[in-house]
Structure 1
Amino acid sequence: FNYHSLEVFLDNYLKLVAANTDEMVPHNLLKKSIYHSFFSLAISSTNNLSPYETFNHPILSLIALDISNGEVYEDARDLLVNFKNLNHNTENFPIFMNTNEMLPVFLLCYNDDSQEEFEKCQALAKKLKKQLFVESILLALWKDSFIYDENSVIQLHQPVMSSLEEILFFLQAPTQTTLSLALINSIYDMLDYLVYDLMIPFMKRKVSFWEETILQPRKSLFNGAKFFKKFMNKNPVNGNHQHNSLTRDSQGNEYFASSSSEFLMRKLADWSMMLSDFKTAYSTYESLMDDLDAFPKYLASCIEWCAVSLLMGAQSIVTVKMIKNDINPLIERALATYENCSQIQRGKGKESNSLDVTEPVRSYETRCMILASELFLSLSDTWTSTPYAIQYLETILDECKLGPCSQIMVWERLSDCYNLRVDPRIKHRVGAMKKDAKDTEDLRGEHKYSTDHFTDEDILSEGLTRRRKAAFFRLIAAKKWAEQKQWRQVSWCLKDIESTYSEIKFLHGNGLILSKLKNQLNLKDVDSAPRPSEKNLTRTSVSFIG
C-alpha cells in the first residue's frame, strides 16, 4: 500500500465520522470498525498485481453477453478466443499470469419480461457448455418493475474490499447509485452460485492437480531430505534450472514464468490458504523456501505466509513452544529478508536518483508485522502471545514511515494489546470477583474505601492484568489525536480511560496531561457549540481534501 494514500484516507474517514456522530453515540463498536478499516487496507489495499504472490490474481473471468442486443453463439466464441489470447495480443501483459489458468464463465443478460429471450438464454447456455465446455449464468438485468417500482429502490454502498485508491475516489467524489431490491437479490444469488458452485470447485480441482503433478513428485524424489536437495543443487545443470525459469518482461524485470514449477507451487500454497487448507499451505510454503534462497523478493513473502499458515492452524494447536521455536523465527526471517530487498532497491534508487523505490518493500514489511500482531492477538492464551504482538507494533512505530493518524491507530492498538493481556490463572476469577463486589455493597458502606474484606488471592488477581498500562497508552493516543485536531477521537479515548483513572486523584492535577486534554476538549466543545442563529441549520456534507 501507499503510506500517503492510507494517511489521506484515514484523515478523510475520521472527518466523516466526526461530522456524523456526537458525544452521546456509543463508540466502542465504531472504534473497532475504524481500526478494522485501517487493518484491512494495510494488508490488502492495492489493485496492482504482485508477481511474488497470487492472492490478488484473478481466478475467474466473467464474459458478458447482451441477449437483448442480439448477441449469439458466434459472439460468445469470439470473446472466449480473445480472452484466451490476451497474453499474446495485449501489450505489457504480465508474464506471471496465464489466462488458461483462469475459469471463464459467460454471463447471459436478458429482459425478464420477454419469455423468448429467456428461452434463448437457456438454449445458448446448453450450447456453450456442450461445444466450448464453459459454464454460463443467467441474469435478468432488465424488467419494467425494476424501473417503475420506486418503493423497492435501494442505495448502494461502496464495494467491499476496494483498493485504497478506489475508496479515496468514493470519499472525495460521492455518488448515489441505486438499484431495485429484486435485482440486488438476483445479483447476490448469482454471486453465491458463482463462488460456491463454480469458483471453489474449480480451485479445488486445480489444487489437486498441482499436488499430484508438482508437489508429490518432489516429495517422493527427495523424501523431504534437505541433504539430497543440496546435493542435487550442486550439479551445474540443476544449478541453472531456476535461472532458466525466470523470464524478462518488456521493462527488463525478471520474474518466474506462470508455467514454472516455482510459480505454480506458490499458487498452490496461496490457493490452499484461500480454501482454508492451512496444512497443505504450510507444507508447500516450507518446501518452496529452499528453492527461493537466491530470490529474496519471492522468499520474503513465502516465509511470511508460512508463518501465517502456522498461526492460522496448520498444526491444529499453537503452543508456546511452537511460537518460540517456529513462528517467531519465521517472522523475524521474513522481516530480515524484506530488509535485504529494501537495501537492494535502495542501491538501485541511488543509481536512478529515486528516493521512493523502497516504499513498496517497506509497505510489505509493515503488512507482515500488522498481520502477525493481529494473529497473535487472536490466540486463546493472550498472556503468552500478546508480547509478540506488542513487539511488532512497537517496531512499526520505530521503523516504518507511517503518517501521524496511522501511527496513532497503532498506539491505540498497543493499548488494546495490554488490555487483552490477562493471566489465564485469573480469567475464571473475574466473574466471581464482580459478583462478590456486588454482594458486599453493604460492607463497603460500613467500611468506606476499605479493602480488608478482599482476600490475598483477590489482590493478587488484580495484579495479573495490564489495565493501567493499557490506559496509559490510550492517554498517549488521546494526546496525539489532540495534536491532529481529531477531537472526537480525543473524547472517546478519555472515556475509555475514565474508569481506570477516576480513583487516582493525583493524575487529575493541574498541568498534567489528563487535565490539559480535558480543558482543551471543553474549550473545543464551547467553540463548536451552535449559536442561536445556527441552531436550526441543517448539517452540511463533509468536504474532503485529496
Structure 2
Amino acid sequence: MSYSPSQSDQPDGDFSRQSADTKRQQSSSLSPSVSSSPAPSLSLSFSSFLTGGTHHPLSATGPLSPNNAVSPSHLSAVAALIAQSFAPRVAVFASPDADDLAREKGLPSLLELLRPFSDTVSGPIHLRDAQGIASNVDDFGFRFVSPAASVPQRQQQQQHQQPLSPSKKPAQTSSSPPCFDLQDLDALLDAYLDKGPRYYATDATGSAVEPHDGLYYKFLLRMFAAPPISPHETFSHPVAALIAITSRNEHPSETLAKLYRAGNELPVPAYMTKDFLRYYLYIHDDDRDDLTRSIAAFERMKRDLGIHCYMIRVRSKPADLSAQEPLMQFAPSVWITAAEELQRIRNPPGEVYIYDSDAQAIRFFIHEFASKSLVPFMERCVATWNEQVLANRRGITGRLFSASKRFLSAGNRTTTATTAPGNYDSVTGTYGYMTAEAQMRKLADYTFMLRDWKLANSTYDILRKDFMNDKAWKYHAGAQEMAAASLIFAGTPLTSKTRAETIEPLLDSATYSYISRCAQPTYALRTILISSELLRSRGGGAADDAARWLMKAVSEKLMGNLAHALVIERVSACYSIRTGQGSQGWGNRRRKAAFWQLVAAKEWVMLDKKAHARACLDEAGENVYDALDWTDEPGALLFELRHATESMVYDSSM
C-alpha cells in the first residue's frame, strides 16, 4: 500500500478555499509577531548519551546552568555531532524582495541569513517515539538548503542534455556523486594545520577541546556537512519547503502561488517525491512598512493557506555600530562544507552585525517552525508508514510475501536474467518513491533523524534483507550502515558476542558493498568513521574494535594523505581511553596508544607537518617512551623523529 502523508495531513499549499470557520479556528492559534524570549531549557541534550548538554553560540538562552547540565567533553560532542549531522532538510523558496532585504543587512540571501539559526534550535524540542513516549531534546536542528541543493547533481546536468534511450541509461549505483570531496577535505586540513590549533580548538557548541581532538572533530564536521542527494538514502531529500515573502511585496498572493509552483516544478527523479510540507513566512520590514497593513496581509495569508504560517518583524537597515541598540555579530552556519570554509579562509569576509531584536525574532520563528510544524509532520509520516507499510511486513502476511518473493526471484534468475525481481529497477538502480521499499527507507531515516533508534534499527534490519534479495547493493550497504549506527545509538549492551555476531557483519558487508560493488569508497569511509566513533564512545572492548576499523580505513587507502595521517592518530585516541582496572591499570592500552602516536608522527613528518608531529611525539613520550632509555639512542625512530621536528621548529621561528 502506498501513502503520501502530505496529501491528507497537510492543510496548506493547494491554494484552495477551506471553510471560514475552520480557517478562523486555525489562524487563532498563531500570533502575527514574536516579542518575548523563550524560557531557559531544563532538559538534557542528546549528548547526555555520555556526559552532558550542549550550547549553541546563537542560542537565546545562554549557557546552560550547572544545575541542569554539565559541560560536555569532546567524547560526548562527537556522539552529538553524528546525531546532528543527520538532520531534516528544508528548501528555501524566497521572493526577490526577501533576498533584497537580506542583502541590505549585509548578507547574500535570505537563506544565508536563516542558516546559522537552524543549526541548533533554541529551547527544547519534544520528540515522541513509536510508543508515544516523549523526550526533550536541546540540540535538535535542521538544515536550510537552496532549491538547487534539493535536486540531484546528475538530474541538473541531464536537463541540458538529450535524453538517453532506456537501453543506454547508466546505472546510478556507480555514477552517483561521492559522499564528500576528499580533495577539499585534505586542502582544508592543510589550511587548519597552517593556521594552528587556535583555528580548530573549539567544537560546534563553542566548547574548548584538546588540539588533536579538535582537528579530528572539525574534519568530521566538514565531512558530514552536506551529503549529496542519493537514491539509497533520504537524509538529504527535502522534508519541507519554506516559502518566504516580505511586506515590500505588492502582490503577495501571486508571489506565494509562483513560489509554490516552483516547488512543485522541481525536476526531481523518480525516486524522490515533491509531497513535502509547505510553510509560509511573512517578513515585516520595521524600517519601511506599516505594521497594521502587514498584520492584515498576514491574516489573509493564514486564511488562505492554513496554520503553517508565521510572521516575523526585522529591520532592513544595516546595524549601526555607533548606536546604543544591542547588536550581535553574525556567525556563519557551523555546517558549511569544506569548499565553503576554504573560500572563507582564502578570502575572509568582512564582519557583519545584525540587531539583537532581529536575531531573537528569527530564533522564535525557528523554534515555532520546528516544534509546531516540522517535527509533528515527520511524526505523522512515521505513524502512518508504520501502520500502513511496516506493520504489514511484520505480520504473517508480510512474511509470506517475502518468502514468495525470494522464491520468484530464484525462478527469475533461471529464466530471465535481465529482469530484476520486485520493485527494484536494475537499469536506473533505484526504487520508485511510491514503492513499499522506498517508503520504508524514508520511515527508517525519519525515525533516525527523530532519534527513535529502536524503530529505526528494526526497520533497517527488515530493509537490508529485502535489498539483498533484489541485489540492490547500494541500498543494501546503506541499510547495513545505518542498522549498525542505530543499534549503537539505541544503548544496546555491546557485549563481545553482540559486536562479533551483529555489528561486525553489518559493517563488513556495508564497506565491502560500497567499495567493491558500488565503487563508492567515500560512503565506505563514512561508515567506518561513524561506527568507530560510536564504538569508541562505549569504551571497553568496543574501543578496541573502533581502532581496528580505523586501521581498515587506513589499509584500504580510502582518504587523502593528510586525512590518512589524521585517522592513524585517531587509532591512538581509541586505545588511549582504555585506562584499565585496579591500581596497576590492568587491561590498559597505553603502549598501543603511544605506538600509534609514533606512527602518526612519522606520517606528519613525511607530509612536512612537523609541528603537529612534535605534538604527537611529546604525547607518546610523556605516556610511555620517556621512561625508556633506549628510545633516545641514535638510530631509534623516536630519536630520529624528534631530531627532524626540532630542526623544523627552529627553522619556522627564523
Asked if Structure 1 and Structure 2 have the same fold, meaning a TM-score greater than 0.5 normalized by the shorter chain, the answer is: yes
Percent of aligned positions with the same letter in both sequences?
A: 25
What's 1:350 paired with? none
Indicate the SS of the match to 2:312: strand
Determine which of 363, 366, 377 is the counterpart of 2:525: 366
The one-letter amino acid paired with 1:523 is S
Deviation sequence 1:193-229 (CA, Å, 0-9, x none): 2223321111111111111221112223436x4x652
| Aligned equivalents of 1:112, 1:335: Cα separation in 2 | 54
- Work out which of the two has the higher radius of gyration on C-alpha atoms and give 1 or 2: 1
Indicate the SS of the match to 1:4: helix
The one-letter amino acid paired with 1:56 is S
The one-letter amino acid paired with 1:49 is I
| Aligned equivalents of 1:217, 1:77: Cα separation in 2 | 39
Question: Does 1:66 pair with 2:246?
Answer: yes
The one-letter amino acid paired with 2:619 is D
The one-letter amino acid paired with 2:478 is S
The one-letter amino acid paired with 1:217 is N
Question: Does 1:400 pair with 2:557?
Answer: yes
Question: Does 1:295 pair with 2:472?
Answer: yes
Indicate the SS of the match to 1:68: coil
What's 2:442 paired with? 267
What's 1:170 paired with? 344
| Aligned equivalents of 2:525, 2:441: Cα separation in 1 | 21
| Aligned equivalents of 1:328, 1:244: Cα separation in 2 | 29
Question: Is the CA contact 2:480–2:507 (under 8 Å) kept in the aligned structure 1?
Answer: yes
The one-letter amino acid paired with 1:2 is D
Question: Does 1:135 pair with 2:322?
Answer: no
The one-letter amino acid paired with 1:390 is A
What's 2:100 paired with? none
Query: How much has 1:527 moved relative to structure 2?
Result: 2.3
| Aligned equivalents of 1:199, 1:113: Cα separation in 2 | 30
Question: Is the CA contact 1:121–1:138 (under 8 Å) kept in the aligned structure 2?
Answer: no
Determine which of 49, 52, 65 is the counterpart of 2:232: 52
> Pairwise mapping of residues 226-237 of structure 1 onto structure 2 (< 5 A)?
229-235=402-408
Query: How much has 1:278 moved relative to structure 2?
Result: 0.8
Question: Does 1:14 pair with 2:190?
Answer: no
Deviation sequence 1:43-72 (CA, Å, 0-9, x none): x24452111101122212111102123242
The one-letter amino acid paired with 1:529 is S
Determine which of 498, 502, 508 is the counterpart of 1:322: 498
The one-letter amino acid paired with 2:253 is Y
Determine which of 26, 35, 50 is the counterpart of 2:216: 35
> Pairwise mapping of residues 203-352 of structure 1 onto structure 2 (< 5 A)?
203-222=378-397, 225=399, 229-235=402-408, 245-246=423-424, 253-293=428-468, 294-313=471-490, 316-342=492-518
Query: How much has 1:292 moved relative to structure 2?
Result: 1.2
Query: How much has 1:510 moved relative to structure 2?
Result: 2.4
Query: How much has 1:181 moved relative to structure 2?
Result: 4.1
Question: Is the CA contact 2:222–2:337 (under 8 Å) kept in the aligned structure 1?
Answer: yes
Q: Which moved more, 1:384-393 or 1:174-183?
A: 174-183
Query: How much has 1:318 moved relative to structure 2?
Result: 3.2
Q: Which moved more, 1:321-330 or 1:67-76?
A: 67-76
| Aligned equivalents of 2:340, 2:428: Cα separation in 1 | 27
| Aligned equivalents of 1:242, 1:203: Cα separation in 2 | 32
Query: How much has 1:504 moved relative to structure 2?
Result: 1.6
What's 2:265 paired with? 86
| Aligned equivalents of 1:166, 1:64: Cα separation in 2 | 25
Question: Is the CA contact 1:3–1:401 (under 8 Å) kept in the aligned structure 2?
Answer: no
| Aligned equivalents of 2:602, 2:405: Cα separation in 1 | 59
Tell me, which stretches of 5 or more residues in structure 1 are unaligned? Answer: 343-357, 430-457, 531-546
| Aligned equivalents of 2:199, 2:568: Cα separation in 1 | 24
TM-score, length of structure 2 as denominator length: 0.65
Query: How much has 1:511 moved relative to structure 2?
Result: 2.9
Question: Is the CA contact 1:47–1:163 (under 8 Å) kept in the aligned structure 2?
Answer: no
What's 2:541 paired with? 384
Question: Does 1:420 pair with 2:577?
Answer: yes
| Aligned equivalents of 1:188, 1:149: Cα separation in 2 | 25
| Aligned equivalents of 1:416, 1:148: Cα separation in 2 | 45
The one-letter amino acid paired with 1:507 is T
| Aligned equivalents of 1:53, 1:188: Cα separation in 2 | 30
What's 2:647 paired with? 523
Query: How much has 1:150 moved relative to structure 2?
Result: 5.5
TM-aligned CA distance change 1:237 to 1:362, over 3 Å: closer
| Aligned equivalents of 1:242, 1:20: Cα separation in 2 | 51
What's 1:483 paired with? 606
What's 2:622 paired with? 499
Determine which of 195, 200, 203 is the counterpart of 2:370: 195
Alpha-carbon RMSD = 3.0
Indicate the SS of the match to 2:372: helix
What's 1:432 paired with? none
Deviation sequence 1:121-180 (CA, Å, 0-9, x none): 433333333322351222323255834656755443332222333233323332124031
Pairs aligned (count): 460
TM-aligned CA distance change 1:35 to 1:12, over 3 Å: same
What's 2:183 paired with? 4
| Aligned equivalents of 2:319, 2:496: Cα separation in 1 | 57
| Aligned equivalents of 1:73, 1:195: Cα separation in 2 | 25
TM-aligned CA distance change 1:67 to 1:296, over 3 Å: same
Query: How much has 1:99 moved relative to structure 2?
Result: 1.7
Indicate the SS of the match to 2:210: helix
TM-aligned CA distance change 1:243 to 1:311, over 3 Å: same
Deviation sequence 1:487-531 (CA, Å, 0-9, x none): 33123213322322222222112232223333333322332335x
Query: How much has 1:19 moved relative to structure 2?
Result: 8.5
| Aligned equivalents of 2:403, 2:185: Cα separation in 1 | 43
> Pairwise mapping of residues 450-465 of structure 1 onto structure 2 (< 5 A)?
458=583, 461-465=584-588
| Aligned equivalents of 2:429, 2:622: Cα separation in 1 | 57
TM-aligned CA distance change 1:521 to 1:28, over 3 Å: farther
Question: Is the CA contact 1:214–1:265 (under 8 Å) kept in the aligned structure 2?
Answer: yes
Question: Is the CA contact 1:62–1:105 (under 8 Å) kept in the aligned structure 2?
Answer: yes
The one-letter amino acid paired with 2:190 is D
